[in-house]
Amino acid sequence: MPFTCSICGEESTRICVRCTKDACDNHLCEKCLRCSDCCECEVKLSAPARMMVHAAIGDPAEAVIPGPDPGPEPPMPGPDPDPNPAPAPEDPAPIAP
């Protein structure tokens, strides 16, 4: 059920966790979930940039056809040997029964 943002009047579906005002996505901090009136984060809230994107229509004869995918990358080499290996523990002598 949509409500109206208490700050700007846009449609909202969430509330501020501190003051319980209805707040739209433009006025609700993603980090602390508080409205812009209550938020104490140092991140500035701003409306997301919206751009109209138009499909590029051109001559199909001029279309760039991508080449084949390159071969798989070679496997990563193993780690270098330890320059100071720990000495191997000596086996204790077997205990006679």
Domain, as residue range, for 12:
1-33
Q: What is the pLDDT confidence band of residue 27, given thresholds at 50, 70 and 90?
A: confident
Identify whether 60 is part of a domain: no
pLDDT on residue 89:
72
Q: Is the pTM higher than 0.85?
A: no
Identify whether 21 is part of a domain: yes
For 31-83, what is each residue's pLDDT tens digit? Answer: 898 988 898 887 654 555 555 665 556 666 666 777 777 788 888 888 888 78
pLDDT on residue 36:
86
CA 44 → CA 23, 28, 36, 37, 54, distances in Å? 16, 11, 9, 12, 30
Identify whether 27 is part of a domain: yes
Domain count, the chain: 1
Identify whether 67 is part of a domain: no
pLDDT on residue 80:
82
Identify whether 9 is part of a domain: yes
**Contact present, 30 and 36 (Cβ < 8 Å):** no
Identify whether 4 is part of a domain: yes
End-to-end CA distance of the chain: 82
Identify whether 87 is part of a domain: no
Identify whether 26 is part of a domain: yes
